[in-house]
A and B are shown apart, each in its own frame.
Chain A
């Protein structure tokens, strides 16, 4: 019995390891390519590189302007996350505990934002941003991303707040706490976990966003990492596979590192996004 169980476990792990390898195979392949010369790639894409040419990564970093692009991405993502988390928390608190007459109409308007795809607004948004002078601006991108991410943020924080017992808020009211005190001293200390999940998720959305940067940022020096990577392919490097692979490596590795560090947060956030 015991032996059968052990064999069982071994087979199970064998299948899982094989699937895991298959999953990461495309990424591993690209990682190797980044170190190869173009002739090596053409000779045999599956072989190991003749030498670990780290200078190719460095060259891709410089030629692809990834330094400034990383800064651009941060400059967009950080304000976006702050805006979404703050505005969502306030709005969700108001909707749940704010005793706002007609709150359900506000909620319905937010729900609308949750069900319409980005494509529904993109053309008009482009022209509106232009009218406001926010095209070709990192701030414009931040504002647009925050606005688009807001409905989900409000929804997520709201469903958390709905789980806070009403008694707790009433007890605080009786203790003399006004709206601001209830929010600051009772609700916010309880909301750190969902707020962090929301922040993680929103950071990922912002970092990975492609369509909004594509239409908003025209000046090559303003590109985000994601957009910069896209133009690596369409630009002068169409046939330079080393360059493209190195670019993929440069952009993918930090995401993966952050993901593995914050795995629990990420998976909780992404699946909560689906379930909630």
Chain B
């Protein structure tokens, strides 16, 4: 168990800067998930922590020890690869014990530690098999077991569940959460799947284009996204975004106008907005009220997705803007129907044109109001 500290970390491939001047501190025993779209640098970052990728600038400390230029094997980290990377010519036992056999651990102790890990993962009966004779889920367990056996200071996971089918993925997700509770080890996990991020993480690090967009507890990331990218990346179905124009500010209330919207004013913090400046208004599909009696946004239903536990209605406003509404349970509607959508100003997120969050006054903060 150890903390991981990244200080001014950068990565360049020739002229191209993939990660620039990144700072992050991960506490002992924390489960941190790096999430972001493909190409955001999350895997590169993980591989830099592992030592598989050179660091172009900055410092990397594990457990307070400077490891920036240290060989991967000497950093006290173990990694679970997306492809599992099991040695095809070795039995499960030899796969899991490979690191111990290299560092000269006596055979008896090696066997004990391998079997202990196998017991945790319930794969004791598979230890004599070769990887080719294992199912995807079993291979996944062996890959995790190989990491456990080494008793590392930090576990690194690189999209470990992406090769599994949906059912197995859910199962392994819970298994990993349980493993973290049991071992209490520091874990860093890379994924592009926001469900994995939300369910597993103590803290989520949202990355885009090599920069940290936001770091925080999953519910904070969801409830108080720092910028438009985080707001639209986390949450499914995706947050609706409307282009609005700033009007007058009166008594701390900023008037916003949009052709399809009824008059709307939000309580904002900070300096007043220049009139006429373009802004982005974000509202999550489940924060829109479906079918209010009067007022609201007039929309026509385009199509309806019934998930059983919830219904997602895809609507179009008069000006041709698409809005998604998520409604718990079932709802009685059909394409072509007209409805009014209710918009609660307390549950709206406001962003500047460049995507920065325009902070709201505390009493009207959407996260608090729920």
Binding site for B on A (CB under 8 A): 165, 167-168, 170-177, 181, 185-186, 189-190
Contact = CB atoms under 8 A, between A and B. Distances in A.
Contacts, number: 55
Given A174-B73, A176-B103, A167 B83 contact: yes
Nearest to A173: B72
Nearest to B84: A167
A96 to B, nearest CB: 16
Contacts of B279: none
24 contacts: A168-B85, A170-B50, A170-B72, A170-B81, A170-B85, A171-B79, A171-B81, A171-B85, A171-B146, A172-B87, A172-B98, A174-B50, A174-B72, A174-B78, A174-B79, A174-B99, A175-B73, A175-B146, A176-B73, A177-B73, A177-B102, A181-B102, A186-B87, A190-B88
Nearest to B50: A174
B150 interface: yes
Given A167-B84, A176-B103, A185-B98, 8 more contacts: A165-B85, A170-B72, A174-B72, A174-B77, A174-B99, A176-B73, A176-B99, A177-B102
> What 7 A-B pairs are tightest by C-beta distance, nearest first?
A175-B99, A176-B73, A167-B85, A171-B85, A189-B89, A176-B102, A167-B81
B196 to A, nearest CB: 20
B104 to A, nearest CB: 10
A197 B85 CA distance: 26
Interface in B39-82: 50-52, 71-73, 77-79, 81-82
A171 B71 CA distance: 13
A176 B98 CA distance: 9
Among A172, A176, A186, residue most surrounded by chain B Cβ atoms (within 10 Å): A176
Contacts of A171: 79, 81, 85-87, 146
Interface string B170-195: 00000000000000000000000000
A174 B102 CA distance: 11
A174 B80 CA distance: 10
B230 to A, nearest CB: 30
Nearest to A168: B85
Contacts of B82: 167
A137 to B, nearest CB: 40
Contacts of A185: 98
A209 B295 CA distance: 93
Contacts of A176: 73, 99, 102-103
A171 B51 CA distance: 11
A177 B99 CA distance: 7
Contacts of B84: 167
A161 to B, nearest CB: 14
Nearest to A164: B88
B155 to A, nearest CB: 11
A186 B150 CA distance: 18
A173 B146 CA distance: 13
A190 B79 contact: no
Among B51, B72, B103, residue most surrounded by chain A Cβ atoms (within 10 Å): B72
A154 to B, nearest CB: 23
A165 B87 CA distance: 10
A173 B70 CA distance: 12
Contacts of A177: 73, 98, 102
Contacts of A181: 102
Contacts of B51: 174
A236 B254 CA distance: 112
A269 B223 CA distance: 62
A175 B150 contact: yes
B215 to A, nearest CB: 26
Contacts of A189: 89
